[in-house]
């Protein structure tokens, strides 16, 4: 097995290789003045199971092209198997044609990935109506989770005796409720209505007393931060004053991390996407998932 760090996977790939005691190499990526990409493997991939570690954030579309170019090149160079280890995988949220003429992006991504790779592993993918990755991809897929790492972080850093874990919308139970069960504390799930990419309404259907509680809001991702900010506004009305926020994927679009700080949120994320709040290392989750590949 050869672990390859693509341009947005290097912060994890070297550690993954170390944990597995497997060789590591970086994918050399250059951009031409017109925006075209040039990629090159620096180690011989022939006969190997090649694991491409690539997280899809920031220049997402370049990241996609780079991973596809790398997969086809590895195949061409004689790799035995090509696996995409994606700490954060994009384009999963548009899983239906809500308005006529729209692209169902998840289906297009699935076709591209199925044709280029033999397997795909994703950490905490954002699955709405699709319950599992095997309903999306035809190739071998594994849904990985950082929930145990988040629970460990909470146990080490927060007072769990007097804590309440809150999830901002029904889907967040997969993180908020699951982590609450591991650390053995109460949880509550709020209701969210999304009005646009930047506007959400978050409500709590029952009244609870949060005075003196250590509230930890957990969600899979933070993009504009508005979901968390609205959740905090609601929970403040119930007496909560201090908020710890944990997300798996810290996208932090449009200066979201600063906005969250102003809203009295202390934010921590995993390092699926490198950012200033990333304090939970997920390389062990990726390494573990590759052991039987």
Q: Tokens for 143?
A: 């849904």
Is the Cβ of residue 64 or residue 176 nearer to ligand R5P in the bound state? 176
Q: Which is nearer to ligand R5P, 221 or 287 (CB)?
A: 221
Beta partners for residue 247, in sequence order: 219, 269
Q: Is 192 a catalytic residue?
A: yes
CA–CA distance, 252 with 148 (Å, rounded to integer): 23
Q: Which residue is catalytic, options 75, 161, 178, 192?
A: 192
- Quote the least distance from Cβ 115 to ligand R5P, whole Å: 28
CB of 265 to ligand R5P, least distance (A): 11
> What's the min distance (Å) between Cβ of 254 and ligand R5P?
9
User: Residue 25, SS3?
Assistant: strand
Find how far residue 132's CA is from the centre of its chain: 15
Shortest separation between residue 289's beta carbon and ligand R5P, angstroms: 22
Q: Taking a C-beta distance cutoff of 8 angstroms, is the pair 121, 144 a contact?
A: yes
Residues 6+ apart with CB under 8 A from 36: none
DSSP 8-state class, residue 291? T
Shortest Å, Cβ 126 to ligand R5P: 6
Question: Which is closer to ligand R5P, CB of 67 or CB of 200?
Answer: 200
Q: Pick the closer one to ligand R5P by CB: 263 or 280.
A: 263
How far apart, in Å, are the Cα atoms of 148 and each of 75, 123, 284? 35, 12, 11
For residues 47 and 21, give the distance between their C-alpha atoms in angstroms, rounded to a whole number: 18
Residues in contact with ligand R5P by the rule CB under 6 A:
168-169, 171-172, 200, 219-227
Which of 155, 227, 166, 163 has its CA nearest to residue 193?
227
Integer angstrom CA distances of residue 206 from 26, 29, 113, 192:
51, 52, 43, 14
Residues recognised as catalytic: 192
């Amino acid at each position: 097995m050869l672990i390859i760090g693509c341009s947005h996977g290097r912060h994890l790939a070297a550690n993954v290789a170390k944990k597995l005691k497997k060789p590591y190499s970086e994918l050399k990526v250059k951009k031409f003045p017109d925006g075209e990409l040039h990629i090159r493997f620096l180690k011989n991939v022939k006969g190997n199971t090649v694991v491409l570690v690539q997280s899809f954030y920031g220049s997402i579309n370049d990241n996609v092209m780079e991973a596809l170019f790398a997969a086809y090149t590895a195949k061409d160079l004689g790799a035995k198997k090509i696996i995409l280890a994606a700490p954060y995988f994009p384009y999963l949220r548009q899983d239906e044609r809500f308005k006529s003429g729209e692209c169902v992006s998840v289906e297009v991504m699935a076709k591209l990935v199925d044709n280029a790779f033999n397997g795909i592993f994703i950490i905490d993918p954002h699955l709405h109506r699709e319950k599992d990755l095997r309903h999306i991809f035809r190739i071998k897929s594994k849904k990985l989770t950082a929930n145990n790492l988040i629970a460990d972080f909470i146990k080490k850093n927060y007072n769990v005796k007097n804590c309440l874990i809150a999830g901002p919308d029904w889907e967040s139970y997969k993180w908020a409720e699951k982590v609450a069960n591991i650390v053995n504390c109460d949880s509550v799930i709020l209701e969210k209505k999304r009005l646009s990419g930047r506007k959400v309404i978050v409500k709590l259907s029952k009244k609870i007393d949060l005075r003196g509680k250590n509230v930890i809001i957990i969600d899979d991702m933070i993009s504009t931060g508005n979901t968390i900010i609205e959740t905090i506004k609601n929970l403040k009305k119930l007496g909560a004053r201090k908020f710890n926020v944990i997300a798996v994927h810290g996208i932090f679009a449009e200066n979201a991390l600063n906005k969250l700080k102003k809203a009295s949120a202390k934010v921590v994320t995993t390092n699926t996407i490198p950012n200033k709040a990333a304090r939970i290392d997920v390389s062990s989750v990726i390494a573990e998932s590759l052991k039987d590949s």
